[in-house]
Structure 1
Amino acid sequence: MTKTQTKIGFQHVGGFLRPDVLKQARKDFAAGNIDHDTLTTIENESIKDLVNKEIDAGLDYVTDGEFRRSYWHLDFFWGFEGIDHIHYGEGYNFAHEETRDDTAILSGKIRFNKNTHPFIKHFKFLKSLTDGTAVEPKQTIPAPAQLYIELVRGTNADKIKEFYDTDEDLYADIEKAYHDAILAFYDEGARIIQLDDCSWGLFLDDKFLATPDGQAYANSGIQDILLELNNGAIKDLPDDLTINTHICRGNYHSDFAFAGGYGPVADTVFAKENVDTYFLEYDSTRAGDFEPLAKVSGDKRVVLGLITSKKGELEDRQVIIDRINEASKYLPLDRLWLSTQCGFASTEEGNVLTEQQEWAKLALVKSIQKEIWR
């Protein structure tokens, strides 16, 4: 297991609303009106501006806002050798909206190549912006479990037998590809990496679990597979590298995919996943109560996502403080912290709020952190 940070520090989950100039540049690039170098220049300037704003907001760890991505997860998958970008024909059905239909599918054996995966270059640029400052860069990537869920999605699973004789061979390649990628980030100066993970949400939603498909899924033993993929990828890492995870219920244009408390996965992910800190969504009654926090093992921490990133209205400060105190009945206050429940833009569409509102949300988070933990 990796070494727990002395301080969690003030950090945002990851994604920020894309500025209009960047949105337009991506449209222009897709239409063939600008070349990739021009797009990269605009991305660079947008990220520089964002990092300055993050520093001004008092963040201890900064991200590039995921500004170079269309999706929080798929862009990273497409960077691996052996994985292709295709259109599935239908998107994921969220509570009120269907996503775009992009997906990742096997086209060969999965490998990580530091010379071709674009995220390494992306991190190097972010690191260059933080050198000589008091802040540290944080790299966010989708969890290994999330890649597996995408590869076995519907007809995507048909491709697996073309390239892998056994499931165990697939698991081994996913773990190695991720392990190699994490070490490549480390070599470039990353000391905090966050695994974003929606895969566990499938076990939380009572409506889904009540269906025959949901019951079959819940009883398939797949929780153990997901746990092994995540733990296998992060074992034997440097002691000064912090690995966090954000367990998400879906965040697309202010919509959600799953409801339900963490109880059905607590014995697996809270007790056995070898991360340092869990970022958990607790911004609505859909997330259930805090009782599952009692299953968080060892000295691992929990960052309570009590401030929603899905809408702009500010939460009642005292309500948030009261909920933190309620959570402390199950996990000591010195192992708790506060953040927004998710990023403000898990995809380039972004959530339905303004840039001014996202910064106001972060200001509220920081002020409550200072009051509760001093």
Structure 2
Amino acid sequence: MSQAQLHAPFHADIVGSFLRPQYLHDARSQFANGQIDAEQLKAVEDKAIIELVEKQKAAGLKGITDGEYRRSWWHLDFMWGLNGVVKKAIPKGYIFADVETRPESAELTGKITGENHPFIEHFKFLANLAGPSHLPRLTIPAPAQFLAELERPDNVKKTQEIYPDNNELINDIAKAYQTFIKELYNAGCRNLQLDDCTWGMLVDPKFASRGAADTPSPEEVCSCGHSHGTLDHTANVADIAEKYLKVNNDSIANAPTEIVINTHVCRGNYRSTWAASGGYAPIAKVLFGKENVNAYYLEFDTDRAGDFSPLAEVTGDKKVVLGLVSSKIPELEDADAIAARIKEATQYIPLERLYLSTQCGFASTEEGNNLSEQQQWDKIALVREVAKRVWE
């Protein structure tokens, strides 16, 4: 089978990121301390990615990634690569269940454009390693995720200085992504994944009433669990959802028909912790009904994601990848239980449009989740075992 005949999702799939080997952690630390230069760091990254690709092939994966090994964050590094955007230190990081992230963000310095993004070269390196029987895939943050970052309290003043008209901001984000996607396509990419936590935040009232990138402080959350600001929660969710839908759909509107665009939704993944809770129902009609993607990679590994009933809102022949195997914990799930949950999901989506993956990547940031590399590969082996049982 040639690359042209391979299309993700696959029945046994992954979200994209992998745990970094220790020597890569060491090299990044040495680079930060000025002990090695950018070219020396790149050489170490190249070596690690070459090894990772071989491991993915040996594990039986058809779609391969570079593990996001050249990144510190799953999302911010891409944003920093856009023109008109810089790295920014902020007073507080994202608040997760048990930990606070590094305090970094992305701030505008001028109008946003998407040409000559460094991720194009990153993809070319991966593509050269794939071979004819494997599909090289790229993961980037969704346009909505970028918009949400620019609307964080730490960033919104600067964003509004440069874009006093929010419609112009959305339009420029869309044009920047269109430029990037065109250049990525010309580099040979035929599968792009838009990682999007905005929807995972909107299902949780303590985030949704403030906007998906704005974490409420503990004193602002009342006993009912809501964060009460100046906006009505229900109305605000609907308004924000439509805004996120527009920027996502506008950004992929002119994509070449040969490039398959999927999206991944979760509720946060940082050092094995999570940020939000809530089922998909509040955003299902918009996300599942109106977003113009080929497939949804969805978190479903815990009760925090709710049941499968919102999948009834998935329109057309769009596909659903059930993230039933946790990338956060070392314990291996029971294969029979996973197979039973796939069967349960067929109440809402036919089996031929269902797929299986881990619920998220293993290292959404360079720190990685709290499991070993062997446990990571054991999880992937479990996904393959269950997929073989269910679909072959």
Q: Normalising to structure 1: TM-score of the pair?
A: 0.96
Task: Answer whether contact 2:323 2:357 (CA < 8 A) is retained.
Answer: yes
Residue deviations 1:3-29 (CA, integer Å, cap 9, x gap):
x98663243101000000000000000
Q: Does 1:18 align with 2:20?
A: yes
Q: Does 1:213 align with 2:215?
A: no
Aligned amino acid, residue 8 of structure 1: P
What corresponds to 2:143 in structure 1?
144
Q: 1:357 aligns with which of 352, 356, 375?
A: 375
Residue deviations 1:60-113 (CA, integer Å, cap 9, x gap):
110000000000000000001111111111000001110000000111000112
Q: 1:347 aligns with which of 343, 355, 365?
A: 365
Q: Does 1:322 align with 2:322?
A: no
What corresponds to 1:123 in structure 2?
123
What corresponds to 2:182 in structure 1?
183
Structure 1 residues 63-74: aligned runs within 5 Å? 63-74=65-76
What corresponds to 1:8 in structure 2?
9
Q: Does 1:88 align with 2:97?
A: no
Secondary structure of the residue aligned to 2:385 is helix
Task: Answer whether contact 1:191 1:240 (CA < 8 A) is retained.
Answer: yes
CA 1:109/1:84 → structure 2, altered by over 3 Å: closer, same or farther?
A: same
How far apart in 2 are the matches of 1:290 and 1:123? 34
What corresponds to 2:56 in structure 1?
54
Instruction: Give 1:174 deviation, angstroms.
Output: 0.1
Aligned amino acid, residue 113 of structure 1: E
Task: Answer whether contact 2:49 2:66 (CA < 8 A) is retained.
Answer: yes
Instruction: Give 1:222 deviation, angstroms.
Output: 1.2
Task: Answer whether contact 1:11 1:62 (CA < 8 A) is retained.
Answer: no
What corresponds to 1:40 in structure 2?
42
How far apart in 1 are the matches of 2:53 and 2:137? 11
How far apart in 1 are the matches of 2:229 and 2:356? 35
Residue deviations 1:132-162 (CA, integer Å, cap 9, x gap):
3410100000000000000000031101232
Secondary structure of the residue aligned to 2:380 is helix
Secondary structure of the residue aligned to 1:128 is helix
Instruction: Give 1:183 deviation, angstroms.
Output: 1.2
Instruction: Give 1:164 deviation, angstroms.
Output: 1.9
Aligned amino acid, residue 219 of structure 1: A
In structure 1, list runs of 5 or more residues that go unmatched: none
How far apart in 1 are the matches of 2:70 and 2:232? 37
Instruction: Give 1:215 deviation, angstroms.
Output: 5.7
Task: Answer whether contact 1:306 1:338 (CA < 8 A) is retained.
Answer: yes
Q: 1:264 aligns with which of 282, 285, 292?
A: 282
What corresponds to 1:173 in structure 2?
172
Aligned amino acid, residue 138 of structure 1: R
Aligned amino acid, residue 159 of structure 1: K
Instruction: Give 1:264 deviation, angstroms.
Output: 0.4
Q: Does 1:235 align with 2:253?
A: yes
Secondary structure of the residue aligned to 1:155 is coil
Between Structure 1 and Structure 2, how many residues are aligned? 368
How far apart in 1 are the matches of 2:233 and 2:106? 21
Aligned amino acid, residue 119 of structure 2: F
CA 1:226/1:5 → structure 2, altered by over 3 Å: closer, same or farther?
A: farther
In structure 2, list runs of 5 or more residues that go unmatched: 210-225
Aligned amino acid, residue 96 of structure 2: F
Larger deviation: 323-332 or 9-18? 9-18
% identical aligned pairs: 50
Larger deviation: 215-224 or 267-276? 215-224
Aligned amino acid, residue 14 of structure 2: H
What corresponds to 1:102 in structure 2?
104
Aligned amino acid, residue 112 of structure 1: G
Task: Answer whether contact 1:203 1:218 (CA < 8 A) is retained.
Answer: no
CA 1:84/1:191 → structure 2, altered by over 3 Å: closer, same or farther?
A: same
CA 1:219/1:334 → structure 2, altered by over 3 Å: closer, same or farther?
A: same
Aligned amino acid, residue 145 of structure 1: A
Instruction: Give 1:214 deviation, angstroms.
Output: 9.1
Secondary structure of the residue aligned to 2:322 is strand
Larger deviation: 16-25 or 313-322? 313-322
Secondary structure of the residue aligned to 2:316 is coil
How far apart in 2 are the matches of 1:177 and 1:237? 12
Q: Does 1:27 align with 2:33?
A: no
Instruction: Give 1:302 deviation, angstroms.
Output: 0.3
How far apart in 2 are the matches of 1:280 and 1:256? 15
CA 1:291/1:355 → structure 2, altered by over 3 Å: closer, same or farther?
A: same
How far apart in 1 are the matches of 2:331 and 2:281? 29
Structure 1 residues 152-163: aligned runs within 5 Å? 152-163=151-162
Q: 2:296 aligns with which of 278, 298, 303?
A: 278
Instruction: Give 1:217 deviation, angstroms.
Output: 5.4
How far apart in 1 are the matches of 2:160 and 2:102? 27
What corresponds to 1:201 in structure 2?
200
